[in-house]
Amino acid sequence: MDLSTFPPIAVVLGGLQSLVTTLGVLVDPVVGASASAVGIVLLALLVRLVLVPVGVSQVRAELARRRLAPAIADLTRRITAPEARSKALMALYATEKVSPLAGCLPTLAQAPVLTAVYSLFAHSEIAGHANTLLTHTLGGAALGANLFVTLGTGLAAVWPYLVLLVLLAIVVELSRRATVRFTGSAAGPTVGQGQGQGQEALPGMAGVLRWLPFVSVLFAAFAPLAAALYLVTSAAWTLGERAVLRRVLAR
């Protein structure tokens, strides 16, 4: 069964299609054939604007974890049993009113939107009508095709995918390094949480945590070009937003 035909989901996808189309129409006089791609970028920016309060709460949680770093390091040194250590950490977070899960909120909040964008460019029919967005392109590459599908048709239209993947990898690495500098973590952030100063990775996990953020680059390679474009825009916003919020809130 195609879930996109389920009435509530079809309504959401239809509304999203109308929004992207409208944004594309607004910028069409300026960008021409790339209007739908720019519409995706504008959609990502609108979503991130709405999620600014979530980003603020995440940075505040990072600051709180950094403040608790000496206590966490001391606790980790004194308690060697994993279960007892976990309970003690949770008790410390509860006492200090710090949520160890605050870091995952932006990812969780965006997941439905990214899923909707993915679905929007993965179905030839939306809400019973032909999906005209699939006819739109960026630099000659179809917004609804992924890198490997395009490779099968020739190399001429591959460059937009390669540019986006390189940009995403650069932004992910810059974000990882910024988090390492800010939190003092040697391993860098985990997905959604961020490993704070004084929080040691499990044995053998340091290498996994180092490369885990780059899963998004792999996802972008297999996703429709439109979803990859959304990911790059959102990741770039996150990098800039964190830099500003960390500077402002740390004062």
The answer to the question of residue 152 being in a domain is yes
The answer to the question of residue 92 being in a domain is no
Strand extents, DSSP E, 113-153? 125-126, 129-130, 137-138, 141-142
3-class DSSP string for 43-96: HHHHHHHHCHHHHHHHHHHHHHHHHCHHHHHHHHHHCCCHHHHHHHHHHHHHHH
Lowest mean pLDDT, pick from 138-147, 190-199, 228-237? 190-199
Does the pTM exceed 0.75?
yes
Number of CB atoms found within 10 A of residue 197's CB: 19
Please classify residue 99 by burial: count the beta carbons closer than 10 Å to its beta carbon, then call 0-12 exposed, 13-18 middle and 19+ buried. middle
The answer to the question of residue 80 being in a domain is no
Residues of the chain with pLDDT > 70, as a percent, come to 85
Q: How many domains does the chain have?
A: 1
The C-alpha atoms of residue 182 and residue 191 are separated, in whole angstroms, by: 16
pLDDT digits (tens, 9 = 90+) for 157-181: 899 999 999 999 999 999 989 988 8
The residues that bridge with 126 in the sheet, in sequence order, are 129
Please state whether 197 falls in left (phi above 0), alpha (psi between -120 and 50) or beta: beta
The C-alpha atoms of residue 97 and residue 236 are separated, in whole angstroms, by: 30
Residue 112 has pLDDT above 90, yes or no: no
The answer to the question of residue 96 being in a domain is no
The answer to the question of residue 129 being in a domain is yes
137-138 and 141-142 beta bridge pairing:
antiparallel
The C-alpha atoms of residue 52 and residue 49 are separated, in whole angstroms, by: 5
The answer to the question of residue 85 being in a domain is no
Host domain of residue 206: 3-66+104-249
The answer to the question of residue 119 being in a domain is yes
How does residue 13 score in pLDDT terms, banded at 50, 70 and 90?
confident
Mean pLDDT rounded to a whole number for the chain? 82
Residue 104 has pLDDT above 80, yes or no: no
Residue 194 has pLDDT above 70, yes or no: no
Structure confidence at residue 165 (pLDDT): 95
The C-alpha atoms of residue 231 and residue 236 are separated, in whole angstroms, by: 8
Number of CB atoms found within 10 A of residue 27's CB: 17
Sign of the Cα torsion 172, 177, 183, 187 reads positive
- Average pLDDT score over residue span 64-77: 85
The answer to the question of residue 71 being in a domain is no
pLDDT digits (tens, 9 = 90+) for 131-163: 888 889 998 888 988 898 888 777 778 999 999
How does residue 235 score in pLDDT terms, banded at 50, 70 and 90?
very high
Q: Is 249 helix (H, G, I), strand (E, B) or coil?
A: helix
> Which of the two residues, 100 and 89, has the higher pLDDT score?
89
Q: Which residues contact 217 (CB under 8 A, 6 or more apart)?
A: 165, 168, 169, 172
The residues that bridge with 138 in the sheet, in sequence order, are 141
Encoded tokens for 123: 């179905």
